Structure 1
Amino acid sequence: MAVKPQLGLIGLGTMGAALALNIAEKGFPIAVWNRTASVTRRFHSAAGALAERIVPAETLADLVAAMAAPRAIILMVPAGEAVDAQLSALAPLLGPQDLVIDAGNANFHDTDRRAAAGWPFRFMGIGVSGGEAGARHGPAIMAGGKPEDWARMAPVLRAIAARAEDGTPCADHMGEGGAGHFVKMVHNGIEYADMQMIAEVYGIMRDGLAMAAPEIAPVFARWNEGVLRSYLVEISAAVAAARDPVTGGPMLDMIVDAAGQKGTGRWTAIEAQHLGAPIPVIEAAVMARNVSARRAERAAGEALYGPAPEPAVVPLEDLEQALIAGKILCYAQGFAMMRAAAESFGWALDMPAIARVWRAGCIIRSAMLNDMAEALAEDPGRNLILAPFFANTLRRGLPALRRVVAAGALHGLGLPALSAGLAWFDMMRTARGTADMIQAQRDYFGLHGFQRRDGLDRPHGPWAEG
């Protein structure tokens, strides 16, 4: 290669290798390094025609030497201490115009800390969603950092990003510091919730309607042709249809019902509490994953209390409408949380832009995000459930959601995410709630005071006079 690349990448695991190939395929020369040299050599030898745009480095110093200044080095290493260690190792090798980009699943607080750490190089953090296939062929990219660093990297990041149906690249600048990783975190929280609601509807079909996986698959496939068209519904149809190569039976029937997690959903739930932003659908999804791990206790519970009382008769149309309503409620909560974060952290989060970035490449990509982007563009500060388009959709779907949640309660089918969404909606549509009782209780035992509805300046109840 006659010209030294200005791009580099550290960490050739599944995601890093895929991203490096994507960058090379889009015409950008790139130098690569992995801590294990044999991994670097194996990656380069397997790159085929793209190898001519890839410079393998044996050591970290070799990587830096192989690049032309000003350099931009993408980190694809595990989140946490490994990122800090890599930044420290790069510090003596880079200059003030070099840029290091953490593209892993970092906690946004860590990204904020690193951005303010005073490194001898520039730093930014970006969220990358889409799994291995997205990294290789086009992810959704949520960038944080200084605007000038985004401007520098935008041509590359937009070139490798997924394209929405209108051709727009799904990559944009979210804000400074950890804003990109924050938006990616909320994306992952919504992903948890979306998956959980799909699983709940699957559970009703399997346990309430006694449908086998091959019967469930075409239902999801049909839904994927309508309002629910999305990556997660699409793959739900595929996994329900899959056969186990060992037994020949449905693959789903052979999979242990204990869901793994890498922590981003939990981070979303924790951060929502700090922000005072209610996201009960996401919190319920995190809870459900935690409960799924308690297999022995769940088996003991069924042995003690018995299985679900009787089959639940729920029309498939109701399940589809319930899932549509649940999805809107979940996304409404996620965008409201990001608005709260923007106010708290001083970020200028562009809500329509976020919705547009999520339209392709990422795990939660769906047709519904086009309508969300339009609704948010009309009024970025308005909760999605108050937008006319989604209000009309909810009016159609909520009766079905109520029937589905009621059937779950009556027939012993746990629907934590769908139930949480409905409870949140009913609170959000009630002008006078029940917190007056809570305020009275707090004043009774702790004289915490309250506001009166008539505006009088009497902050305590009669119990305080005794």
Structure 2
Amino acid sequence: MADIDNEKVNDIEIGIVGSGSMGGGMTLLFSQNGSRVGCYDYEKEAVEKLMKEAKEDENVDENLVHGFTSLEKLVNAFPKASKDEKDKKPRIVVLSMPHGKGVDKIEDQILPLLEKGDIVVDGGNEWWAETEHRQAKAKDKGIQWVGMGVSGGYQSARHGPSMSPGCTKEAWEYLKPYLEKWAAKTPEGEPCVMHIGPGGSGHYVKMIHNGIEHAHLSILCEVRALLHYQLGLSNDEISNLFESWWKDGPLRGNFLIGIGFKGLRFKEGGGIEHAQDGIVEKIEDKVTQDVDLSEGTGTWSAKEIAERHVAAPAIAAAHQLRIISSDKQERSKVADNLNLPQPSKAKEAKLEKAEKDKLLDTVHTAVYGAILGAFIQGLDIITKASQDQKWNVELATCIKIWRQGCIIQSDAIAEFFLPLFEKFGPSEPLNILKSIPEIAKELAKTYDAQKKLYTIAIETDAVAPALGASLEYIKSINCRDLNTNFQELELDYFGHHNYDLKGKAEKGHEKGKYHTEFAKMPGV
């Protein structure tokens, strides 16, 4: 194993700060693709472990991987800068760290060590405004700070992630050959990385990717439970059903369905005593990610829904379910106090095979509709933010980079979306269902199926907030006359908020021009 902090090393191409699961995976990926990498971590054990992995990995040349516990020595391990500005080759340092103050600390430490023209790529999840703050700070020193989402988890970090860099065009042009070499590839060989836009746009797109991911995760856990507990399918049967969806139809190539059917078949190994029906029954129903502050993207996505005023109820409902899920003991005590019915079997569980097969086709359509709806909701948020921040993000670009190496990969949906989005420029469409009738019609086809599936959840007291929110989303945006006129009446009554007259509403979100002094009216 190579020495750590070897001061004789002077030829690394890429420096990686953070040697955990993501940073370690990227170190091995980059070196496997021929890049000479310097990996840094303040914990010597983490660097030693990564160096050992490089030595044992048959796909990696261990001589391309050098370890450091000193940031200064990492920076000095790059080739010495040329005195001729024209020949100067920028250093590239990639950060793979948890969001927040730790990144600020590293920025304060590394900026004085770098030189004008060097590039720092923050490859962690980060709140987009923090990224823009760091970009401004680095710009003062002539250093390019790139906020880049890295999708797909630690396995994609090792084998090829989807990446969303937000930066200047100059930084992108220099990074492009490296990123395209490291990125996940479509079957046609297209790299799943593109320039998203300036500023915090790259981290923003990754944030909403994760918001969509949370909705999809909730939809699938809800439907798995409905299939198992309400409709009586074994986990093996559900696994086979999911595999059929993954192989063919509108959910073909959906990553989460793909790992879902494989996970449901896992029954032994790993030192865990599993139930006969699979490992899932042995796992506590307690999701702490986001609630434990280890991952901010779900919370930030929910925040953006509120502050950008974009309807994305499935994403919001998924986040709420995580919050409720996260404290099992508290939830159990609340259930003791409420003492309401627990989920029960559905009458449909007793259907004959032919009828049940027909019902499962309906479930397939409903799940497709809910997943499609979550995509639409997330993409509407990206469009609104892009317009607000003047990032000029193109939705076609988002779909292109999500075709491989990311958690929301869904091949059939991407193939459906892409030619439709390619017709629009970066500032359009503000509202997908208004601007692209083909997508509205596709979502409408799933309405009856979503209604049927959610009816089963209602009748059996099953927990299905994301499925319910997906249905209510369609109902609400389809309703020509919502019940909110009474809300307007009461707002005007107590707060002089004004209202529009029926049939005379002006376009947009402008406040109405009419007011009634209810308290002065006889009998009121």
Flag whether TM exceeds 0.5 (same fold). Answer: yes
The alignment partner of 1:126 has SS state of: strand
The alignment partner of 1:305 has SS state of: coil
Q: Distance in 2 between matches of 1:328 and 1:124?
A: 31
Q: Distance in 1 between matches of 2:287 and 2:152?
A: 19
Residue of structure 1 aligned with 2:267, choices 243, 262, 277: 243
Q: Letter of the 1:442 partner, please give it.
A: L
Q: Letter of the 1:65 partner, please give it.
A: N
Q: Distance in 2 between matches of 1:263 and 1:57?
A: 29
Alignment of 1:90-101 (within 5 A): 90-101=110-121
Which deviates more, 256-265 or 52-61? 52-61
Identity of aligned residues (%): 27
Which deviates more, 113-122 or 21-30? 113-122
TM-score (norm 2): 0.84
TM-score (norm 1): 0.94
The alignment partner of 1:172 has SS state of: coil
Q: How many residue pairs are counted as aligned between the two chains? A: 466
Residue of structure 2 aligned with 1:28, choices 27, 32, 35: 35
The alignment partner of 1:414 has SS state of: coil
Q: Which residue of 2 aligns with 1:419?
A: 468
Structure 1 residue 464, shift from structure 2 partner: 6.6
Q: Which residue of 1 aligns with 2:419?
A: 374
Q: CA RMSD in A?
A: 2.1
> Mind listing any 5+ residue stretches in structure 1 that lack a counterpart?
none
Residue of structure 1 aligned with 2:306, choices 273, 280, 283: 273
Aligned 8 A contact 2:54 2:61 in 1? yes
Q: Distance in 1 between matches of 2:98 and 2:369?
A: 36
Structure 1 residue 26, shift from structure 2 partner: 1.5
Residue of structure 2 aligned with 1:313, choices 341, 348, 366: 348
Structure 1 residue 248, shift from structure 2 partner: 5.4
Structure 1 residue 260, shift from structure 2 partner: 2.5
The alignment partner of 2:343 has SS state of: coil
Aligned 8 A contact 1:224 1:233 in 2? yes
Aligned 8 A contact 2:341 2:461 in 1? no
Q: Letter of the 1:270 partner, please give it.
A: K
Structure 1 residue 88, shift from structure 2 partner: 0.7
Q: Does 1:286 align with 2:319?
A: yes
Structure 1 residue 157, shift from structure 2 partner: 0.8
Aligned 8 A contact 1:359 1:370 in 2? no
Aligned 8 A contact 1:128 1:140 in 2? yes
Aligned 8 A contact 1:162 1:360 in 2? yes
Structure 1 residue 316, shift from structure 2 partner: 1.3
Q: Which residue of 2 aligns with 1:257?
A: 285
Structure 1 residue 99, shift from structure 2 partner: 1.2
Q: Distance in 2 between matches of 1:77 and 1:247?
A: 34
C-alpha spacing 1:267/1:42, structure 2 compared with 1 (3 Å): same
Q: Distance in 1 between matches of 2:378 and 2:196?
A: 15
Q: Distance in 2 between matches of 1:130 and 1:325?
A: 23
Q: Does 1:8 align with 2:15?
A: yes
Q: Letter of the 1:269 partner, please give it.
A: A
Structure 1 residue 210, shift from structure 2 partner: 2.2
C-alpha spacing 1:409/1:83, structure 2 compared with 1 (3 Å): same
Structure 1 residue 388, shift from structure 2 partner: 4.3
Q: Which residue of 2 aligns with 1:445?
A: 494
Aligned 8 A contact 1:18 1:135 in 2? yes
Aligned 8 A contact 2:201 2:391 in 1? yes
> Mind listing any 5+ residue stretches in structure 2 that lack a counterpart?
1-7, 82-89, 290-294, 350-358, 506-511
Aligned 8 A contact 2:314 2:374 in 1? yes
Aligned 8 A contact 1:221 1:237 in 2? yes
Structure 1 residue 313, shift from structure 2 partner: 1.5
Q: Which residue of 1 aligns with 2:369?
A: 325
Alignment of 1:8-407 (within 5 A): 8-48=15-55, 49-68=60-79, 69=81, 70-118=90-138, 119-120=140-141, 121-226=143-248, 227-229=250-252, 230-245=254-269, 246-247=273-274, 249=276, 250-261=278-289, 262-300=295-333, 304-313=339-348, 315-367=359-411, 368-379=413-424, 380-381=428-429, 383-385=431-433, 387-407=436-456
Structure 1 residue 43, shift from structure 2 partner: 2.3
C-alpha spacing 1:35/1:445, structure 2 compared with 1 (3 Å): same
Aligned 8 A contact 1:244 1:254 in 2? no
Q: Distance in 1 between matches of 2:328 and 2:311?
A: 29
The alignment partner of 1:74 has SS state of: strand
